Amino acid sequence: MKLSNLGLSAALLALTWFSSASFAQGSADLGKNEYMASCASCHGVSGKGDGAMRSYLTKPPSDLTMLSKLNGGAFPSQRIGEWIDGRTSAVIGSHGAREMPVWGQIYRAEDTGPKDLNARNRITALLDYLSRIQEK
């Protein structure tokens, strides 16, 4: 009986630890962090297309704060997700030909877990952040 109580106590302790770790993780803005690491150098910290790399690019980076306005007020998650992932051959927006890095390919190369899970999570977090910086 004492062993069962010890096992139950250990399970509750582990559950508490995992819950607090999840809570601490939730307080970080993963989408914003991903944006700052992968996108801000070209699109700018504000998303307006004024990043430090702008002068080195053939075409200026898109103003990512205008995506919803240019799509009738709705954030085009599917289209932008496909553009970031790079698995679409469509020419999207002012980018014209593909000049932006294929982030999905880069993210998948860094995956250590189940196929594409890390890439999908990073793109989803990025899409969430981009949807939050849209001009009203």
Q: What is the pLDDT along the chain (136 residues), one digit of tens a residue?
A: 444 554 444 444 444 444 444 444 456 899 999 999 999 999 999 999 999 999 998 889 999 999 999 999 999 999 999 888 887 655 555 444 556 777 777 777 887 777 778 888 899 999 999 999 999 8
- Buried/exposed 16-40: b ≥16 CB within 10 Å, e otherwise: eeeeeeeeeeeeeebbbebbeebbb
Flag whether 19 is in a domain. no
Q: Give a yes or no: residue 11 inside a domain.
A: no
Cα separations (Å) of 39 from 47, 93, 129?
A: 8, 17, 12
User: Which structural domain range is residue 110 located in?
Assistant: 29-132
Instruction: Judge whether 54 lies within some domain.
Output: yes
Domain annotation covers residue 114: yes
Helix axes 77-85, 103-110, angle to 10 degrees: 60
Instruction: Tell whether 4 is covered by a domain.
Output: no
What gap in Å lies between CA 113 and CA 73, rounded to an integer? Answer: 36
Instruction: Please indicate, yes or no, if residue 16 is contained in any of the structural domains.
Output: no
Q: Is residue 14 part of a domain?
A: no
* Structural domains in the chain (count): 1
Decide if 62 is inside a domain. yes
